[in-house]
Homo-oligomer: A and B are copies of this chain.
Amino acid sequence: MTTMTAWKARVYVTLKHGVLDPQGRAVENALKVLGFDEVGDVRVGKYVELGLAAPDRETALARVEEMCRRLLANPVIEQSRFDLTEAQGDS
């Protein structure tokens, strides 16, 4: 029987450079209206936390990688990166 370990992945999805980011522009403008004139280059992305069970780190990395490719990021306009840590609890 394979012992499963609980992992926690934090996935960051951002628009690729050169892709227009209207949400980022809106946030930047709002910050400036509030007096944060020193701000620039605001980009808004998604942040996904998820737990998963996998026998080892390599398997967990491969699975999260696949999740990014198949669902979490749109490879045409987005790029994703993630980090993976062993979860506190166990499964």
Contact = CB atoms under 8 A, between A and B. Distances in A.
A4 B39 CA distance: 13
A38 to B, nearest CB: 5
A4 B40 CA distance: 14
Contacts of A36: 52, 63, 66-67
* Copy count, this protein chain: 2
B44 A46 contact: yes
Interface of A: 4, 12-14, 24, 27-28, 30-31, 34, 36, 38-54, 63, 66-67, 70-72
19 contacts: A4-B38, A12-B47, A13-B47, A27-B48, A27-B50, A30-B71, A31-B67, A34-B70, A36-B52, A36-B63, A36-B66, A40-B50, A40-B52, A41-B50, A41-B51, A43-B50, A44-B48, A45-B49, A46-B46
